[in-house]
Structure 1
Amino acid sequence: MNRKVLVPMTLTLGAAAFVAGIFLFNGSVGNVGASNVVAGNATAPGASAATSGLKAQGLPSETLVRAHSPVIGPRNAPVTIVEFFDPSCEACRAFYPEVKQIMARYPNEVRLVVRYAPNHPGSEEAVRILEAARPQNLYVPVLEAVLAQQPQWHDGNMESAWSAAAAAGLNVERARAALNAPAVTANMQQDIADGQALGVKGTPTYFVNGTPLIEFGLPQLEALIRAEVEARRR
């Protein structure tokens, strides 16, 4: 069963708004400027702020932020956005530039931790492409290239995704050799299990410093992030 939501679009995507699907997650199997991008792991001290809300809910803190998760933005940022993300999801594609703009407003205060929820044709392979870009220090360029090309590959025609990644600088031969790394499989499965434990039903799903975004929408996400930033400034 699918839910439909109105997803605001930026001028970058060339439209004011469009209707995109938020698809059910059924458990199948880093200012974002170049100087502040960290495509490493979410093992920083800033993780404590992200998980404080979970402790209040009686959930283990590691369920939200794992050491293997990609993080974009300052590693020690006091405000952490956790996104359960499917690279083949149209709504995820639409929201990415919006989140990037929000982070640009708070260049030293906000970071994004990516958790995977692959549930569409090509999603799992796209995740593996992104993970293969990490050791090449190309996570964000490849992420943005793959998302930009999403309409050509989200039906499972993955050569378009590979072409986009190559255009972003990915060494495809090295990436393909690492594609089925057991660690990537294990991490993806962990993300799926954590999403289920947290009650994630669709993508994108956001948590800000452990607080879930209850009412889906860009204004609501902006308000939640702003509230957390202002609270940390006091």
Structure 2
Amino acid sequence: MNKRAIIIATGVGAAAIFAGGAYLYSQSSTETAAAPVAAESSQFIRPHSPIMGPATAPVTIVEFFDPSCEACRAFYPTVKQIMATYPEDVRVVIRYTPFHPTSEEAIRILEAARKQDKFQRVKEWLLQNQEQWGADGNPQAARAWELAAEVGLDLDRARQDAVTEEVDAIIAQDVEDVQAVGITGTPTFFVNGKQLQSFGRQQLKDLVKSEVEAAR
């Protein structure tokens, strides 16, 4: 069983984890060695990038994230847990990586939700119900919109905000950066510029812990 399959199999109980407030993530990228990159490098953090956590946090997790990715869904509670453990020390930067058929539409929904200060709420609900809209064999973008409305998104306003030139530019820039950095699987994590080399939840926790301790 490959690594992605293992992550997905162990994430069967993800809905319960979401309800309990844990925070998971996952990935299918390779584990090739990579030199650390500058945490504020433009290819890793753009002014438009969604950021969760304190802007001045000494530890930055950059996640190349696809909202339709099952592995991203599985890893989401782990990242949330990390942020709860280090509320003043860690921030998470999201870079959009639209590798699946419904991914771009979901990204547009998230950007529209951000304008209504509902980004995190909509993101969590879409991930929790990902199988209803994001399956490659049966993509249902319309269902993603319905789910967003269930957690309070004003759809009339959101449908207008989702197709602006601003959102077009955000997606285009993130796709360009994904290609420039060489991202081939999601999620891919960088912690203070260091790519997670040995993929796994505990490995991510350990890398973040070491960076937090080094910053203190």
Note the 1:179-190 alignment, pairs <5 A.
Answer: 179-190=162-173
Where in structure 1 do 4 or more consecutive aligned residues deviate above 6 Å? none
**Equivalence for 1:93:** 73
Deviation at 1:55, TM superposition (A): 4.0
What TM-score do the two structures reach when normalised by structure 1?
Answer: 0.78
Contact in 1 for aligned 2:27/2:187 (Cα 8 Å) = no
Q: Give the one of 175, 181, 189 matched to 1:206.
A: 189
Deviation at 1:186, TM superposition (A): 1.2
Counterpart AA for 2:175: I
**Identity over aligned pairs, percent:** 51
Deviation at 1:11, TM superposition (A): 5.4
Q: Give the one of 98, 105, 109 matched to 1:125.
A: 105
Q: Give the one of 114, 122, 133 matched to 1:134.
A: 114
- Corresponding position: 1:13 with 2:15: yes
Alpha-carbon distance in 2 for matches of 1:75, 1:21: 25
**Equivalence for 1:71:** 51
- Length, aligned pairs only: 197
* Alignment RMSD: 2.3
Alpha-carbon distance in 2 for matches of 1:54, 1:219: 22
Q: Which runs of 5+ in 2 are unaligned?
A: 18-25, 31-35
Deviation at 1:6, TM superposition (A): 2.1
Q: Which runs of 5+ in 1 are unaligned?
A: 25-52
Deviation at 1:211, TM superposition (A): 0.6
Contact in 2 for aligned 1:80/1:209 (Cα 8 Å) = yes
**Equivalence for 2:156:** 173
Contact in 2 for aligned 1:22/1:89 (Cα 8 Å) = no
Alpha-carbon distance in 2 for matches of 1:124, 1:4: 22
Contact in 1 for aligned 2:14/2:74 (Cα 8 Å) = no
Deviation at 1:212, TM superposition (A): 0.7
- Corresponding position: 1:153 with 2:133: yes
Cα pair distance change 1:55/1:177, threshold 3 Å: closer
**Equivalence for 1:48:** none
What TM-score do the two structures reach when normalised by structure 2?
Answer: 0.84
Deviation at 1:227, TM superposition (A): 0.6
Considering fraction of residues, name the structure with more strand.
1
